[in-house]
Amino acid sequence: MMDVTLPTVTGDFGENPELTFPDAPAPRGLHVAVLESGTGPTIQAGREIEVNYHGQIWDGDVFDSSFRRGEPTSFPIGVGMVIQGWDQGIVGKSVGSRLLISIPPEKGYGVGGNPRAGIKGTDTLVFVVDLLGVK
C-alpha cells in the first residue's frame, strides 16, 4: 500500500476538531485513520450509532459539523442509510474511538455531488468522527 498523506487533526475526543491539510492532492480511495482507540463495543452493520462529526471538503470549507451544532446525531450504519464511505469506514470500529475518514467522490455523493452542501462531484470529503455509542 502506498503511503498516503492525510490531514492532521488537533483536538481530543469530544472536542471540536481542526484539520490541517497537507500540501498534497487528496488520496484515491477510502482511508480511515484511528486517531484515538475506544474501548467500547465494536460497531456492527445494522446497528444505530450515535456520533459527533466534522465534515470538510479536502483543503476546502467545512460543510457540516454536529460539533458546531452542539448535538450529536444518530443513524443506522452499514445498511446504506448514509454515504458508502461512512458505512465502510465505521463498521468494525469501537465506541469511544475518534476516526479520520477520507472519502473519495465515488464513496461520497458521487458525480452529482451535493450542491446544497456545496459539494462538487469531484470533491474528496474528510470527516472526523467521534463514536459516542451504539444502540
Domains, the chain, ranges and CATH? Answer: 8-134 (3.10.50.40)
For the stretch 5-50, pLDDT in tens is: 999 999 999 999 999 999 999 999 999 999 999 999 999 999 999 9
CA angle 71, 74, 75 (to 5 degrees): 150
Environment class of residue 94 by beta-carbon count within 10 Å: exposed (0-12), middle (13-18) or buried (19+)? middle
Whole-structure pTM value = 0.96
Query: What average pLDDT score do residues 56-71 get?
Result: 96
Whether the per-residue pLDDT at 104 is higher than 60: the answer is yes
